Structure 1
Amino acid sequence: MRLTVYTDYSLRVLMYLGVRGQDHLATIQEIADTYQISKNHLMKVTYDLGKYGYIETIRGRGGGIRLAIAPQEIVIGEVVRKTEEDFHIVECFNPENNLCRIAPECRLKNALYEALQAYLKVLDSYTLEDVIHSKTSLMQLFGLGEKE
């Protein structure tokens, strides 16, 4: 299974904000520069993360974004479910477009469905706090000083 770039960027934004802490405002440009990715891509990601209640946006001069809830309350599996368009890892998972001739008798789809559920269950066992546990190392990798 492969996550979309949208989900990848969503998780990266949350990790960056989690490392920065809820007291610090970050900008989309700052995050884009840190990860060397397009600011335009992050605009929609941050907008949607705000809609989902994960981040809050402070407008105006000196504004920015920050986590709206504590990192230990953000479940990675939940974020993935909200940010992925679908989980149609094979054609038969999408009833609208399923043209597979063997779908009625195929046992592979059951195995793949079971694997997908296990994958999501593992992600449900991690919070944002778990994945940003080594904050000092991540701050260094982000190019941030410890006091910022």
Structure 2
Amino acid sequence: MRLTSFTDYGLRMLMRMASAPGRGFSTAELAEELALSRHHLSKIMQHLARSGIVETRRGSGGGAVLQRDPAQIRLGDLVRILEQDQALVECGAADGGACSLRGRCRLKARLYHAEAQFLEDLNRSTLADIALEAPVAA
């Protein structure tokens, strides 16, 4: 299974945030530290906030903060949230995709079973298990 860059970048942000769970992180700070697009990270942060993973606070001392203890956040659940609306195969899209095998295919069910097993395996670990160490100040 290949994860989208949206999920990849989201997990990187969350790994960093898990290293200091009570601290607020700005999108600009995370973008600079992780060498990723601030604009792209802003979209991901909004998605994580709507999903209840992070809380965003405005103003001085603001930023994004994890809503729960990283030890209570399962990796498979995070991937499921970040990959929301991303069908594993075209025929799994909301509109049914353009599959010429519709009604005859025996692959789709097996792929979705494998995806479920993948997420179940990831759920054996938490965000705390993969938290990044804070960068060393120069």
Instruction: Give me the TM-score of the superposition, normalised by structure 2.
Output: 0.84
Bigger Rg, structure 1 or 2: 1
Which letter does structure 2 place at the counterpart of 1:75?
A: R
Q: Could you say which residue in structure 2 is the equivalent of 1:28? A: 27
**Cα deviations by residue, 1:12-64 (Å, 9 ceiling, x for unpaired):** 11111111231x22221110011111111111211221222222222112322
Aligned pairs, number? 137
Query: Is 1:81 matched with 2:80?
Result: yes
Which letter does structure 2 place at the counterpart of 1:144?
A: V
The residue matched to 1:126 in structure 2 has which SS? coil
Q: Pairwise CA RMSD of aligned residues?
A: 2.0
After TM superposition, give the deviation of residue 70 of structure 1 in Å. 0.3
Cα 1:121–1:87 change in 2 (3 A) is farther
**Cα deviations by residue, 1:76-112 (Å, 9 ceiling, x for unpaired):** 1111112213352223323623443333232222321
Q: Which structure 1 residue ranges, 5 or more long, are not aligned?
A: none
Query: Percent identity over the alignment?
Result: 36
The residue matched to 2:40 in structure 1 has which SS? helix
Cα 1:85–1:51 change in 2 (3 A) is closer
Q: Could you say which residue in structure 2 is the equivalent of 1:94? A: 93
Cα 1:115–1:37 change in 2 (3 A) is same
Q: Could you say which residue in structure 2 is the equivalent of 1:144? A: 136
Q: Could you say which residue in structure 2 is the equivalent of 1:19? A: 19
The residue matched to 2:96 in structure 1 has which SS? coil
Cα 1:98–1:31 change in 2 (3 A) is closer
Partners of 1:98 and 1:58 in 2: CA distance: 39
Greater RCO (Cα-Cα under 8 Å, separation 6 or more): 2
Which stretch of the first structure deviates more once superposed, 71-80 or 60-69?
60-69
Instruction: Give me the TM-score of the superposition, normalised by structure 1.
Output: 0.79
